[in-house]
Amino acid sequence: MNAIYILWWRQMKRYLRTRSRIFGSIGQPILFLLALGYGLGAVFERAGQGDYLQFLVPGIILQTLLFSGVFWGIQILFDKRFGFLKEMLVAPVPRVKVLLGNALGGTTISIIQALVVFIVAVAFGFRPQNWVLLPLALLIVMALALTLASFGAGLASMVEDFQGFQAINNFLIFPLFFLSSALYPLTNVPDVLRILASINPLSYGVDALRHTMIGGGHFSLPTDLIVIAAVLVICVFFAVNRFNRIQV
Amino acid sequence: MSSKYAVEARDVVKTFGDIKAVDHVNFGVMPGEIFAFLGPNGAGKSTTIKMLTTMLRPTSGQLLLNGHDVTKDQASARKSFGIVFQDPALEEELTAYENMLFHCVLYGVPKAGHKKRIEDLMKLVDLWERRDSLVRTFSGGMRRRLEIARGLLHHPKILFLDEPTLGLDTQTRNVLWDYVRKLSKNEGMTIFFTTHYLDEAEQIAERIAIIDHGKIVAEGTTKQLTEKTKTKTLEQAYLKLTGEGIRDEVSEDFSGLNVRGALLNRRLR
Ligand SMILES: Nc1ncnc2c1ncn2[C@@H]1O[C@H](COP(=O)(O)OP(=O)(O)OP(=O)(O)O)[C@@H](O)[C@H]1O
Ligand SMILES: [Mg+2]
């Protein structure tokens, strides 16, 4: 317990001491929110799909969690590169705990960033449909944050350097994000896109957020929750498996 | 698995692709002994230490710490040693004190003793005044001192020091080795260290192994090594055993270069 706490503590200290990272990682989703929300809002409404800002906010929250989680994974690369990982890996603490402490730090950071984005969205006119469901939305955010931080940690444990991570980012993370239902509804898209988005776990994450934040979604909420739980387990296993193999 | 040694290597091999970094190495270090592991650049010292401390898996062979196989039983192995790495391993965004505290908690130092232990060790390496500075702002030597203090925090049974004194001033080196000697004598701590300062090895080590191109080429006390090579000092014995050429990782294929290195070496002396 103590070990997990101190690992988490160090992640938080580090996060709070690097301001540029805070602004950088919150700035991007907010830019998306404003540019897309205002840029496409009129088109969206004319097409009879309702208020785009309402639709978009759960997607932007997912984006925050995805990029924050995966970029947090870079921390492991930094620690490898600058040596601190060794200090953690030879400690008399099971690797699983080392990973867990670090991942909880990453998860906390993601959740904080998602909350900031949520508050900004509310300031720009976003209105959750049913405040009573928000605690459930928060639970979903937590599960997604842990899933995506584990995913990031697993990926970072696999690659050797920053170039490798950059490649993963371009060829895996961006497509995952754009080929999900985060930015557009799946009702009127071409079949290919709908199929791709339907096998993309991220779509279920954002769908669950829509159910709980604005009401209504593409899949059913129970389906979403089952997929989220399954992917959470898979990502945690993936991270533990990869992290156990790290050699420095 | 029983072993009378605190640290033991049995026929250990480690390859990286084509490079044989460690080549059928055998040695044993008695509990409480101060053991120096010497060899030219790229000889395989750090690789051996990394395998002993569970950071690398051997390609073949066995490594034991207090009789525990480090590859099979990593958890108990990790409980028995402390290490100061050759390369830096500090968190730059934490202060010196926070780095020490992090280590105390992660390495299970009893909470009641944290403050005192951290203060004592930071005073030993003369960093107590700078405890609240971020490590990012430290000089190379200050970082080194902090790492050494950190490695001593949790009183391990076996302490690995991979070139601990690299870049340290003479005063700090003397303080460090006095302290290490005391640890070995009073607490029976086993010390396994590497260094390129042969005078240091001669003064501190009770026993020495010399590794070259991944193979152990000699082992014994300074006296045994000088007798064996018919030389007067450890440095002469060392040069006789490992050759005078500047160590290049592919030096065998470039004997011409080797000769030039030897000439250069001789001229410098
Ligand atoms: N991760 C790695 N990948 C490939 N080769 C490696 C790796 N680590 C070490 N080596 C090679 O293994 C050999 C032994 O390296 P090692 O670091 O053990 O040397 P050393 O004795 O500690 O040298 P030095 O005195 O310079 O620290 C070298 O040829 C080195 O290039
Ligand atoms: Mg080395």
* Three-state DSSP class for residue B154: coil
* Mean pLDDT (chain A, rounded): 90
Domain count within chain B: 2
| Nearest C-alpha neighbor of B184 from the set B20, B4, B15, B32 | B32
Residue A1 predicted with pLDDT over 70: no
* Three-state DSSP class for residue A165: helix
Which alpha helices (DSSP H) does B189-244 contain, by range? 198-204, 222-229, 234-242
Residues B171 and B72 in one domain: yes
Element (H, E) at B216: strand B215-220
For residue B182, is it within any domain? yes
Task: Identify which of B47, B161, B166, B246 to mutate to test ligand 1's pocket (most ligand atoms within 8 A of the CB).
Answer: B47
Atom of ligand 1 nearest to the CA of B50: 18
| Nearest C-alpha neighbor of A71 from the set A24, A8, A120, A137 | A24
pLDDT of residue A42: 83
Query: Measured from the CB, is residue B231 less than 6 Å from ligand 1?
Result: no
Chain A residues whose CB is inside 8 A of the B85 CB are 83, 86
For residue B110, is it within any domain? yes
For residue B2, is it within any domain? no
Residues B71 and B189 in one domain: yes
pLDDT of residue A240: 93
Residues B178 and B245 in one domain: yes
Residue A141 predicted with pLDDT over 70: yes
Query: Measured from the CB, is residue B257 less than 6 Å from ligand 1?
Result: no
Rounded Cα distance, B80 and B188, in Å: 13
Name the token pair of B80. Answer: 């028995």
For A3, the closest chain B residue by CA position comes to B106
Contact A89 B55 (CB under 8 A): yes
Chain B residues whose CB is inside 8 A of the A89 CB are 54-55
B147 CA to centre of ligand 1 in angstroms: 21
Residues B196 and B260 in one domain: yes
pLDDT of residue A178: 93
Integer CA distances (angstroms), B171 to A24, B87, B103, in order? 45, 22, 26
User: Structural domain of residue B210, as residue ranges?
Assistant: 7-80+158-268
When pLDDT is cut at 50, 70 and 90, the band that residue B247 belongs to is low
pLDDT tens by residue, B180-217: 999 999 989 999 999 999 999 999 999 999 999 999 99
Residues B62 and B163 in one domain: yes
Name the token pair of B47. Answer: 């690789």
pLDDT tens by residue, A60-98: 999 999 999 888 888 888 898 889 999 999 999 999 999
Domain boundary among B155, B170, B201: B155
Chain Cα centroid distance, residue B229: 25
For residue B120, is it within any domain? yes
Contact A18 B105 (CB under 8 A): no
% pLDDT > 70, chain A: 100
When pLDDT is cut at 50, 70 and 90, the band that residue B244 belongs to is confident
| Nearest C-alpha neighbor of B86 from the set B7, B35, B6, B144 | B144
Integer CA distances (angstroms), A178 to A164, A172, A174, A194, in order? 21, 10, 6, 12
Residue B268 predicted with pLDDT over 60: no
pLDDT of residue A164: 85
Residues paired with B16 in a beta bridge: B19
For residue B205, is it within any domain? yes
Task: Check if the beta carbon of residue B161 is closer than 8 Å to that of residue B130.
Answer: no
Rounded Cα distance, B216 and B60, in Å: 16
The shares of helix, strand and coil residues in chain B, as percent rounded to the nearest 5, are 45, 25, 35
Q: DSSP state, A92?
A: S
Rounded Cα distance, B87 and B94, in Å: 18
| Phi and psi, residue B87, nearest 5° | -90, 155
Residue B258 predicted with pLDDT over 80: no
Contact B106 A86 (CB under 8 A): no
Mean pLDDT of A94-109: 93
Ligand closest in space to the Cα of B23:
1
Model confidence, pTM: 0.88
| CATH number for the domain that contains residue B163 | 3.40.50.300
Residues B176 and B61 in one domain: yes
For residue B260, is it within any domain? yes
Residues B264 and B168 in one domain: yes
Residues B168 and B253 in one domain: yes
pLDDT of residue B248: 54
> Higher model confidence: residue A246 or residue B11?
B11
| Nearest beta carbon to residue B79 from set A5, A18, A92 | A92
| Nearest C-alpha neighbor of A227 from the set A189, A180, A187 | A180
Atom of ligand 1 nearest to the CA of B214: 14
State ipTM.
0.89
pLDDT of residue B257: 44
Atom of ligand 1 nearest to the CA of B40: 25
Domain boundary among B101, B130, B155: B155
| Phi and psi, residue A44, nearest 5° | -60, -45
Query: Measured from the CB, is residue B21 less than 6 Å from ligand 1?
Result: yes
Atom of ligand 1 nearest to the CA of B56: 1
Distance of residue A225 Cα from the nearest chain B Cα, in angstroms: 35
Residue B36 predicted with pLDDT over 50: yes
Mean pLDDT of A44-57: 86
Residues B15 and B107 in one domain: no
Residues B73 and B94 in one domain: no
% pLDDT > 90, chain B: 74
Residue A23 predicted with pLDDT over 90: no
Query: Measured from the CB, is residue B55 less than 6 Å from ligand 1?
Result: no
For residue B176, is it within any domain? yes
Contact A87 B78 (CB under 8 A): no
Q: Exposure of A241 by Cβ count < 10 A (0-12 exposed, 13-18 middle, 19+ buried)?
A: exposed
Mean pLDDT of A24-39: 87
Residues B68 and B173 in one domain: yes
Query: Measured from the CB, is residue B249 less than 6 Å from ligand 1?
Result: yes
Which alpha helices (DSSP H) does A19-161 contain, by range? 19-46, 52-81, 84-89, 95-123, 134-158
Rounded Cα distance, B94 and B86, in Å: 20
> Higher model confidence: residue A167 or residue B210?
B210
For residue B1, is it within any domain? no
* Three-state DSSP class for residue B265: helix
Element (H, E) at B7: strand B7-16
| Sequence ranges of the domains in chain A | 2-243
pLDDT tens by residue, B61-87: 999 999 899 999 888 889 899 999 999
pLDDT of residue B269: 39
Cα torsion A58, A61, A66, A67 to 10°: value is: 140
Rounded Cα distance, A194 and A178, in Å: 12
Q: DSSP state, B95?
A: B
Mean pLDDT of B146-166: 93
